[in-house]
Copies of this chain bind each other. A is one copy, B any other.
Protein backbone atom coordinates (compact mmCIF):
# COMPACT_ATOMS: atom_id res chain seq x y z
CA UNK A 1 0.00 0.00 0.00
CA UNK A 2 2.97 2.31 -0.65
CA UNK A 3 0.82 4.69 -2.66
CA UNK A 4 -1.36 5.70 0.25
CA UNK A 5 1.35 6.05 2.89
CA UNK A 6 2.48 9.48 1.71
CA UNK A 7 -1.04 10.94 1.78
CA UNK A 8 -1.98 13.85 4.04
CA UNK A 9 -4.33 13.06 6.91
CA UNK A 10 -8.03 13.03 6.04
CA UNK A 11 -9.89 16.10 7.26
CA UNK A 12 -12.90 14.92 9.29
CA UNK A 13 -14.50 18.35 9.77
CA UNK A 14 -17.21 17.86 7.12
CA UNK A 15 -17.89 14.24 8.11
CA UNK A 16 -21.42 14.60 9.44
CA UNK A 17 -22.51 11.69 11.60
CA UNK A 18 -25.98 10.89 10.28
CA UNK A 19 -28.55 8.21 10.91
CA UNK A 20 -30.48 6.48 8.13
CA UNK A 21 -32.69 8.68 5.99
CA UNK A 22 -36.11 9.38 7.42
CA UNK A 23 -38.30 11.51 5.18
CA UNK A 24 -42.01 11.88 5.95
CA UNK A 25 -44.95 10.72 3.85
CA UNK A 26 -46.46 13.84 2.34
CA UNK A 27 -49.54 14.35 0.22
CA UNK A 28 -48.18 16.71 -2.41
CA UNK A 29 -51.08 18.88 -3.60
CA UNK A 30 -48.94 21.80 -4.70
CA UNK A 31 -47.55 22.77 -8.11
CA UNK A 32 -45.28 19.70 -8.19
CA UNK A 33 -43.66 17.42 -7.52
CA UNK A 34 -46.79 15.37 -7.09
CA UNK A 35 -46.79 11.97 -5.42
CA UNK A 36 -45.48 9.20 -7.58
CA UNK A 37 -47.35 5.97 -8.20
CA UNK A 38 -46.15 3.25 -5.78
CA UNK A 39 -45.36 0.96 -8.72
CA UNK A 40 -43.16 3.69 -10.19
CA UNK A 41 -41.34 4.08 -6.87
CA UNK A 42 -40.71 0.34 -6.76
CA UNK A 43 -39.27 0.49 -10.27
CA UNK A 44 -36.78 3.16 -9.15
CA UNK A 45 -35.38 0.70 -6.62
CA UNK A 46 -34.50 -1.97 -9.19
CA UNK A 47 -30.83 -2.80 -9.63
CA UNK A 48 -29.32 -0.61 -12.33
CA UNK A 49 -28.28 -2.19 -15.62
CA UNK A 50 -25.80 -0.75 -18.10
CA UNK A 51 -26.80 2.19 -20.31
CA UNK A 52 -25.72 0.18 -23.36
CA UNK A 53 -27.17 -3.15 -22.18
CA UNK A 54 -29.40 -4.61 -24.93
CA UNK A 55 -32.26 -4.82 -22.42
CA UNK A 56 -31.85 -1.17 -21.49
CA UNK A 57 -31.84 -0.19 -25.15
CA UNK A 58 -35.16 -2.00 -25.50
CA UNK A 59 -36.55 -0.07 -22.54
CA UNK A 60 -35.43 3.20 -24.13
CA UNK A 61 -37.51 2.42 -27.19
CA UNK A 62 -40.53 1.66 -25.03
CA UNK A 63 -40.17 5.00 -23.26
CA UNK A 64 -39.89 6.85 -26.56
CA UNK A 65 -42.89 5.15 -28.08
CA UNK A 66 -45.09 5.76 -25.04
CA UNK A 67 -44.01 9.40 -24.92
CA UNK A 68 -45.17 9.72 -28.53
CA UNK A 69 -48.53 8.28 -27.53
CA UNK A 70 -48.82 10.57 -24.53
CA UNK A 71 -47.97 13.64 -26.58
CA UNK A 72 -49.96 12.44 -29.61
CA UNK A 73 -47.04 12.93 -31.94
CA UNK A 74 -45.15 10.95 -34.54
CA UNK A 75 -41.93 12.87 -33.91
CA UNK A 76 -38.89 10.66 -34.34
CA UNK A 77 -36.89 12.82 -31.94
CA UNK A 78 -38.88 12.15 -28.79
CA UNK A 79 -36.93 11.27 -25.66
CA UNK A 80 -36.53 12.13 -21.99
CA UNK A 81 -33.67 14.52 -21.30
CA UNK A 82 -31.42 13.34 -18.46
CA UNK A 83 -32.38 16.28 -16.28
CA UNK A 84 -35.54 17.85 -14.91
CA UNK A 85 -38.19 19.64 -16.98
CA UNK A 86 -36.14 22.82 -17.05
CA UNK A 87 -33.34 21.00 -18.84
CA UNK A 88 -35.81 19.90 -21.51
CA UNK A 89 -37.09 23.47 -21.74
CA UNK A 90 -33.54 24.65 -22.32
CA UNK A 91 -32.96 21.88 -24.87
CA UNK A 92 -35.76 23.16 -27.10
CA UNK A 93 -34.03 26.55 -27.33
CA UNK A 94 -30.38 25.45 -27.22
CA UNK A 95 -30.80 23.22 -30.25
CA UNK A 96 -32.71 25.58 -32.46
CA UNK A 97 -31.75 29.16 -31.61
CA UNK A 98 -28.88 30.69 -33.53
CA UNK A 99 -27.38 34.02 -32.48
CA UNK A 100 -29.59 36.84 -33.68
CA UNK A 101 -32.69 34.72 -34.24
CA UNK A 102 -35.79 36.46 -33.01
CA UNK A 103 -37.62 34.45 -30.37
CA UNK A 104 -41.05 35.75 -29.44
CA UNK A 105 -42.12 34.61 -25.98
CA UNK A 106 -45.64 34.77 -24.63
CA UNK A 107 -45.29 35.88 -21.01
CA UNK A 108 -48.41 35.49 -18.90
CA UNK A 109 -46.69 33.86 -15.95
CA UNK A 110 -43.43 32.83 -14.37
CA UNK A 111 -42.40 30.26 -16.94
CA UNK A 112 -42.72 32.59 -19.89
CA UNK A 113 -40.09 34.73 -18.18
CA UNK A 114 -37.87 31.68 -17.79
CA UNK A 115 -38.14 30.92 -21.51
CA UNK A 116 -37.16 34.50 -22.27
CA UNK A 117 -34.18 34.31 -19.91
CA UNK A 118 -32.99 31.07 -21.49
CA UNK A 119 -33.43 32.29 -25.08
CA UNK A 120 -31.29 35.33 -24.28
CA UNK A 121 -28.46 33.11 -23.11
CA UNK A 122 -28.42 31.54 -26.58
CA UNK A 123 -28.05 35.05 -28.00
CA UNK A 124 -31.56 35.30 -29.41
CA UNK A 125 -33.18 38.62 -30.07
CA UNK A 126 -35.85 38.09 -27.44
CA UNK A 127 -39.21 39.81 -27.88
CA UNK A 128 -42.09 39.50 -25.44
CA UNK A 129 -45.83 39.54 -25.78
CA UNK A 130 -47.29 40.00 -22.33
CA UNK A 131 -50.62 39.47 -20.56
CA UNK A 132 -51.68 39.66 -16.96
CA UNK A 133 -50.89 36.60 -14.88
CA UNK A 134 -54.13 34.67 -15.07
CA UNK A 135 -55.08 35.44 -18.69
CA UNK A 136 -54.40 33.70 -21.99
CA UNK A 137 -53.46 35.00 -25.44
CA UNK A 138 -55.99 35.43 -28.22
CA UNK A 139 -55.26 34.45 -31.81
CA UNK A 140 -55.50 38.12 -32.81
CA UNK A 141 -52.94 39.18 -30.22
CA UNK A 142 -50.56 36.47 -31.31
CA UNK A 143 -50.96 37.27 -35.00
CA UNK A 144 -50.30 40.96 -34.44
CA UNK A 145 -47.11 40.08 -32.54
CA UNK A 146 -45.98 37.65 -35.24
CA UNK A 147 -46.45 40.36 -37.86
CA UNK A 148 -44.63 42.92 -35.75
CA UNK A 149 -41.64 40.81 -34.71
CA UNK A 150 -41.32 38.22 -37.50
CA UNK A 151 -39.81 35.66 -35.10
CA UNK A 152 -38.04 32.42 -35.97
CA UNK A 153 -39.71 30.83 -32.94
CA UNK A 154 -42.89 31.55 -31.00
CA UNK A 155 -42.68 30.10 -27.49
CA UNK A 156 -45.85 29.64 -25.46
CA UNK A 157 -46.79 27.96 -22.24
CA UNK A 158 -49.71 25.57 -22.65
CA UNK A 159 -50.25 25.10 -18.93
CA UNK A 160 -48.88 27.93 -16.79
CA UNK A 161 -48.01 26.38 -13.44
CA UNK A 162 -47.67 29.80 -11.85
CA UNK A 163 -51.21 30.96 -12.73
CA UNK A 164 -53.32 27.89 -13.48
CA UNK A 165 -54.16 29.04 -17.00
CA UNK A 166 -54.54 26.65 -19.93
CA UNK A 167 -53.73 28.39 -23.21
CA UNK A 168 -56.32 27.57 -25.95
CA UNK A 169 -54.36 26.17 -28.89
CA UNK A 170 -56.85 26.31 -31.79
CA UNK A 171 -55.36 27.96 -34.84
CA UNK A 172 -51.98 28.91 -33.35
CA UNK A 173 -50.05 26.26 -35.27
CA UNK A 174 -51.53 27.41 -38.57
CA UNK A 175 -50.65 31.00 -37.77
CA UNK A 176 -47.03 30.03 -37.08
CA UNK A 177 -46.77 28.21 -40.40
CA UNK A 178 -48.28 31.17 -42.25
CA UNK A 179 -45.69 33.40 -40.63
CA UNK A 180 -42.90 30.92 -41.12
CA UNK A 181 -41.95 30.40 -37.52
CA UNK A 182 -41.58 27.38 -35.27
CA UNK A 183 -44.07 26.82 -32.47
CA UNK A 184 -42.51 25.85 -29.13
CA UNK A 185 -44.82 24.71 -26.34
CA UNK A 186 -44.37 24.17 -22.59
CA UNK A 187 -46.50 21.17 -21.61
CA UNK A 188 -44.98 20.70 -18.15
CA UNK A 189 -48.29 20.77 -16.30
CA UNK A 190 -50.47 19.32 -19.04
CA UNK A 191 -48.78 16.19 -20.42
CA UNK A 192 -50.76 13.09 -19.54
CA UNK A 193 -53.42 14.97 -17.58
CA UNK A 194 -54.90 17.54 -19.96
CA UNK A 195 -55.64 17.03 -23.66
CA UNK A 196 -52.51 17.62 -25.73
CA UNK A 197 -52.48 16.89 -29.46
CA UNK A 198 -49.03 17.93 -30.48
CA UNK A 199 -49.15 17.04 -34.17
CA UNK A 200 -52.74 18.14 -34.61
CA UNK A 201 -51.80 21.50 -33.10
CA UNK A 202 -48.74 21.73 -35.39
CA UNK A 203 -46.33 22.15 -32.50
CA UNK A 204 -42.67 21.89 -33.54
CA UNK A 205 -40.96 21.71 -30.16
CA UNK A 206 -42.27 20.72 -26.76
CA UNK A 207 -41.06 19.67 -23.34
CA UNK A 208 -42.49 18.42 -20.09
CA UNK A 209 -41.49 16.94 -16.75
CA UNK A 210 -41.81 13.58 -15.04
CA UNK A 211 -43.34 14.64 -11.71
CA UNK A 212 -46.82 15.90 -12.58
CA UNK A 213 -49.26 14.22 -14.96
CA UNK A 214 -46.93 11.24 -15.35
CA UNK A 215 -46.85 10.23 -11.64
CA UNK A 216 -43.08 9.76 -11.58
CA UNK A 217 -40.65 11.61 -9.29
CA UNK A 218 -38.84 14.65 -10.73
CA UNK A 219 -35.60 14.02 -12.62
CA UNK A 220 -36.42 13.54 -16.30
CA UNK A 221 -37.52 16.07 -18.91
CA UNK A 222 -39.52 14.66 -21.83
CA UNK A 223 -38.52 16.45 -25.03
CA UNK A 224 -39.82 16.28 -28.58
CA UNK A 225 -38.89 17.93 -31.84
CA UNK A 226 -40.76 17.77 -35.14
CA UNK A 227 -39.41 17.80 -38.70
CA UNK A 228 -39.48 21.59 -39.10
CA UNK A 229 -37.42 22.04 -35.94
CA UNK A 230 -35.10 19.22 -37.02
CA UNK A 231 -34.49 21.08 -40.26
CA UNK A 232 -33.51 24.20 -38.34
CA UNK A 233 -31.13 22.16 -36.21
CA UNK A 234 -29.61 20.53 -39.28
CA UNK A 235 -29.05 23.92 -40.91
CA UNK A 236 -27.11 25.37 -37.94
CA UNK A 237 -23.81 26.95 -38.89
CA UNK A 238 -21.96 25.59 -35.84
CA UNK A 239 -22.26 23.10 -33.02
CA UNK A 240 -25.14 23.37 -30.57
CA UNK A 241 -23.72 25.59 -27.80
CA UNK A 242 -24.67 23.06 -25.12
CA UNK A 243 -23.07 19.61 -25.14
CA UNK A 244 -25.30 17.85 -22.62
CA UNK A 245 -28.52 18.83 -24.39
CA UNK A 246 -27.26 18.53 -27.98
CA UNK A 247 -29.98 16.55 -29.75
CA UNK A 248 -27.76 15.80 -32.73
CA UNK A 249 -25.53 13.81 -30.33
CA UNK A 250 -28.38 12.46 -28.23
CA UNK A 251 -30.07 11.12 -31.32
CA UNK A 252 -27.05 8.92 -31.97
CA UNK A 253 -27.70 7.30 -28.59
CA UNK A 254 -31.51 7.25 -28.65
CA UNK A 255 -31.68 6.54 -32.39
CA UNK A 256 -30.72 3.31 -34.08
CA UNK A 257 -26.95 3.86 -33.76
CA UNK A 258 -26.91 3.60 -29.94
CA UNK A 259 -23.63 5.48 -29.72
CA UNK A 260 -22.58 6.31 -26.16
CA UNK A 261 -23.24 9.93 -25.25
CA UNK A 262 -23.58 10.08 -21.46
CA UNK A 263 -24.31 7.45 -18.81
CA UNK A 264 -28.08 7.49 -18.74
CA UNK A 265 -29.98 7.85 -15.45
CA UNK A 266 -31.19 4.28 -15.82
CA UNK A 267 -33.20 4.04 -12.60
CA UNK A 268 -35.16 7.21 -13.36
CA UNK A 269 -35.92 5.73 -16.76
CA UNK A 270 -37.13 2.52 -15.10
CA UNK A 271 -39.59 4.74 -13.26
CA UNK A 272 -40.54 6.66 -16.38
CA UNK A 273 -41.19 3.44 -18.28
CA UNK A 274 -43.57 2.26 -15.59
CA UNK A 275 -45.23 5.66 -15.28
CA UNK A 276 -45.94 5.76 -19.01
CA UNK A 277 -47.09 2.14 -19.02
CA UNK A 278 -49.59 2.80 -16.23
CA UNK A 279 -50.86 5.87 -18.07
CA UNK A 280 -51.31 3.86 -21.27
CA UNK A 281 -53.09 1.14 -19.26
CA UNK A 282 -55.52 3.74 -17.98
CA UNK A 283 -55.79 5.31 -21.42
CA UNK A 284 -55.11 8.97 -22.18
CA UNK A 285 -58.79 9.83 -22.59
CA UNK A 286 -59.61 8.29 -19.22
CA UNK A 287 -56.79 10.13 -17.53
CA UNK A 288 -57.94 13.45 -19.03
CA UNK A 289 -61.52 12.78 -17.92
CA UNK A 290 -60.41 11.85 -14.41
CA UNK A 291 -58.34 15.01 -14.03
CA UNK A 292 -61.20 17.15 -15.29
CA UNK A 293 -63.77 15.53 -12.99
CA UNK A 294 -61.64 15.85 -9.86
CA UNK A 295 -60.77 19.45 -10.68
CA UNK A 296 -64.47 20.30 -11.14
CA UNK A 297 -65.20 18.67 -7.80
CA UNK A 298 -62.48 20.83 -6.19
CA UNK A 299 -63.73 24.00 -7.86
CA UNK A 300 -67.31 23.39 -6.75
CA UNK A 301 -66.16 22.71 -3.20
CA UNK A 302 -64.01 25.81 -2.99
CA UNK A 303 -66.90 27.82 -4.37
CA UNK A 304 -69.20 26.41 -1.65
CA UNK A 305 -66.67 27.59 0.93
CA UNK A 306 -66.84 31.08 -0.51
CA UNK A 307 -63.31 31.02 -1.89
CA UNK A 308 -62.54 32.78 -5.18
CA UNK A 309 -60.60 31.14 -7.97
CA UNK A 310 -58.01 33.28 -9.75
CA UNK A 311 -58.75 32.06 -13.30
CA UNK A 312 -62.10 32.14 -15.15
CA UNK A 313 -63.51 28.65 -15.63
CA UNK A 314 -63.03 28.47 -19.40
CA UNK A 315 -59.25 28.94 -19.02
CA UNK A 316 -58.74 26.85 -15.91
CA UNK A 317 -56.20 24.04 -15.80
CA UNK A 318 -57.57 20.80 -14.34
CA UNK A 319 -54.12 20.04 -12.95
CA UNK A 320 -53.47 23.27 -11.09
CA UNK A 321 -56.01 25.46 -9.39
CA UNK A 322 -55.13 28.93 -8.17
CA UNK A 323 -57.15 30.17 -5.21
CA UNK A 324 -57.19 33.81 -4.15
CA UNK A 325 -56.11 34.08 -0.51
CA UNK A 326 -58.99 35.81 1.27
CA UNK A 327 -58.29 39.21 2.75
CA UNK A 328 -57.06 39.00 6.32
CA UNK A 329 -55.67 35.48 5.93
CA UNK A 330 -51.95 34.78 6.26
CA UNK A 331 -51.71 32.37 3.33
CA UNK A 332 -48.20 31.21 4.17
CA UNK A 333 -49.19 30.41 7.76
CA UNK A 334 -52.11 28.31 6.56
CA UNK A 335 -50.04 26.33 4.06
CA UNK A 336 -47.33 25.74 6.70
CA UNK A 337 -50.08 24.52 9.03
CA UNK A 338 -51.30 22.08 6.36
CA UNK A 339 -47.74 20.83 5.86
CA UNK A 340 -46.68 20.51 9.46
CA UNK A 341 -49.93 19.33 11.06
CA UNK A 342 -51.48 17.37 8.22
CA UNK A 343 -48.57 16.46 5.95
CA UNK A 344 -50.19 18.13 2.95
CA UNK A 345 -48.23 20.41 0.66
CA UNK A 346 -50.06 23.23 -1.09
CA UNK A 347 -48.11 25.86 -3.04
CA UNK A 348 -47.94 29.62 -2.74
CA UNK A 349 -47.77 32.22 -5.49
CA UNK A 350 -44.72 33.05 -7.56
CA UNK A 351 -43.66 36.44 -8.93
CA UNK A 352 -46.50 38.94 -9.17
CA UNK A 353 -48.85 36.45 -7.46
CA UNK A 354 -46.61 35.88 -4.41
CA UNK A 355 -48.71 36.14 -1.25
CA UNK A 356 -51.92 36.46 -3.25
CA UNK A 357 -52.79 32.87 -4.17
CA UNK A 358 -52.51 29.27 -3.13
CA UNK A 359 -51.72 26.76 -5.82
CA UNK A 360 -53.47 23.40 -5.52
CA UNK A 361 -52.31 20.58 -7.73
CA UNK A 362 -54.33 17.50 -8.61
CA UNK A 363 -51.95 15.70 -10.86
CA UNK A 364 -51.43 12.12 -11.97
CA UNK A 365 -51.64 9.66 -9.10
CA UNK A 366 -52.92 12.42 -6.80
CA UNK A 367 -55.97 13.33 -8.87
CA UNK A 368 -58.56 11.42 -6.83
CA UNK A 369 -61.92 12.33 -5.28
CA UNK A 370 -60.54 11.25 -1.88
CA UNK A 371 -57.75 13.81 -2.04
CA UNK A 372 -60.21 16.50 -3.07
CA UNK A 373 -62.45 15.67 -0.10
CA UNK A 374 -59.54 15.57 2.32
CA UNK A 375 -58.34 19.00 1.26
CA UNK A 376 -61.80 20.57 1.16
CA UNK A 377 -62.49 19.27 4.66
CA UNK A 378 -59.32 20.92 5.92
CA UNK A 379 -60.16 24.21 4.21
CA UNK A 380 -63.59 24.06 5.78
CA UNK A 381 -62.54 23.11 9.28
CA UNK A 382 -59.22 24.90 9.70
CA UNK A 383 -59.13 27.95 7.48
CA UNK A 384 -61.57 29.95 9.65
CA UNK A 385 -59.07 30.13 12.50
CA UNK A 386 -56.59 31.76 10.11
CA UNK A 387 -59.02 34.56 9.24
CA UNK A 388 -58.05 37.57 11.31
CA UNK A 389 -60.98 39.08 13.18
CA UNK A 390 -63.46 36.63 11.71
CA UNK A 391 -64.33 35.13 15.08
CA UNK A 392 -64.95 38.60 16.46
CA UNK A 393 -67.09 39.68 13.53
CA UNK A 394 -69.16 36.50 13.59
Q: Is the CB of B14 within 8 A of A68?
A: yes
What is the distance, in angstroms, from A202's C-beta to the closest C-beta of chain B?
13
- Inter-chain contacts of A42 with B (CB < 8 A): 45
In the complex with contacts A45-B44, A239-B120, A69-B8 CB distance below 8 A: no
What is the distance, in angstroms, from A384's C-beta to the closest C-beta of chain B?
25
- Inter-chain contacts of A289 with B (CB < 8 A): 1, 4
In the complex with contacts A265-B268, A266-B218, A277-B20, A47-B72 CB distance below 8 A: no
Q: Is the CB of A66 within 8 A of B267?
A: no
- As for how many copies of this chain the complex holds, the number is 2
Listed stretches A100-108, A173-181, A280-288, A299-307; interface member: A280-288
Q: Is the CB of B219 within 8 A of A82?
A: yes
Interface of A is mostly: loop
> Which single residue of chain B is at the shortest CB-CB distance from A44?
B44
- Inter-chain contacts of A114 with B (CB < 8 A): 243
In the complex with contacts A14-B65, A21-B273, A265-B219 CB distance below 8 A: yes
**A200 interface residue (CB < 8 Å to B):** yes
A167 and B69 alpha carbons, distance in the complex (Å): 48
A209 and B51 alpha carbons, distance in the complex (Å): 14
A277 and B218 alpha carbons, distance in the complex (Å): 22
- Inter-chain contacts of A72 with B (CB < 8 A): 10-11
Partner of A10, one of B59, B284, B292: B284
A310 and B43 alpha carbons, distance in the complex (Å): 38
Q: Is the CB of B33 within 8 A of A1?
A: no
Partner of A45, one of B25, B41, B59, B339: B41
Residue-wise, chain A 256-271 has the 8 Å CB interface mask toward B (1 for contact) of: 0000111111111010
